Amino acid sequence: MNAVIFDIDGTLLQSDANDDALYLATVRDVLGNVKLRPAWSTYTQFTASGILTEILNDNAIAATIDTVSAVRDRFVANIRRYVSDHGSFAEIPGAKAFVESLNLSPMHRVAYATGGWRGSALLKLSVSGFPVAGVPLATSDDHFERQEIMLHALRQLNGVFASVTYYGDGHWDAAAAKALGWQFVPVGRKLNGLTRYDSG
As a whole number, mean pLDDT of residues 53-80 equals: 94
Q: What is the pLDDT of residues 134-159, one digit of tens each?
A: 999 999 999 999 999 999 999 999 98
Comparing 198 with 4, which gets the higher pLDDT?
4
| Rg of the Cα atoms in the chain | 16
- Say yes or no: 141 and 106 in one domain: yes
As a whole number, mean pLDDT of residues 68-87 equals: 94
Q: What is the pLDDT of residue 18?
A: 84
Q: What is the pLDDT of residues 26-61, one digit of tens each?
A: 999 999 999 999 888 889 888 999 999 999 999 999
Q: What is the pLDDT of residue 114?
A: 95
As a whole number, mean pLDDT of residues 1-11 equals: 96
In whole angstroms, what is the distance from residue 90 CA to residue 110 CA? Answer: 21
Q: What is the pLDDT of residue 45?
A: 85
- Say yes or no: 125 and 54 in one domain: no
Residue 63 is assigned to a structural domain of this protein? yes
Given a contact cutoff of 8 angstroms between Cβ atoms, the answer to whether 56 and 62 are in contact is yes
- Our count of domains for the chain comes to 2
Which phi and psi angles does 7 have, rounded to 5°? Answer: -70, 170
Residue 196 is assigned to a structural domain of this protein? no
The pLDDT of residue 200 is above 60: no
- Say yes or no: 50 and 141 in one domain: no
pTM of the predicted protein model: 0.93
Which of 56, 86, 116 is the last residue in one of the domains?
A: 86
- Say yes or no: 170 and 111 in one domain: yes
CA distances from 78 to 16, 30, 72, 132, 170 (A): 14, 12, 10, 21, 24
- Say yes or no: 78 and 117 in one domain: no
- Say yes or no: 93 and 68 in one domain: no
- Say yes or no: 10 and 50 in one domain: no
- Say yes or no: 110 and 167 in one domain: yes
Q: What is the pLDDT of residue 48?
A: 93
Give the residue numbers spanning the domain of 58. 16-86
Q: What is the pLDDT of residue 51?
A: 94
- Say yes or no: 179 and 109 in one domain: yes
Which of 52, 68, 86 is the last residue in one of the domains?
A: 86
Which of 36, 63, 86 is the last residue in one of the domains?
A: 86
Residue 200 is assigned to a structural domain of this protein? no
Q: What is the pLDDT of residue 13?
A: 96
Residue 102 is assigned to a structural domain of this protein? yes
Percentage of the chain beyond pLDDT 70 is 99
The CATH number linked to 122 is: 3.40.50.1000
- Say yes or no: 52 and 148 in one domain: no
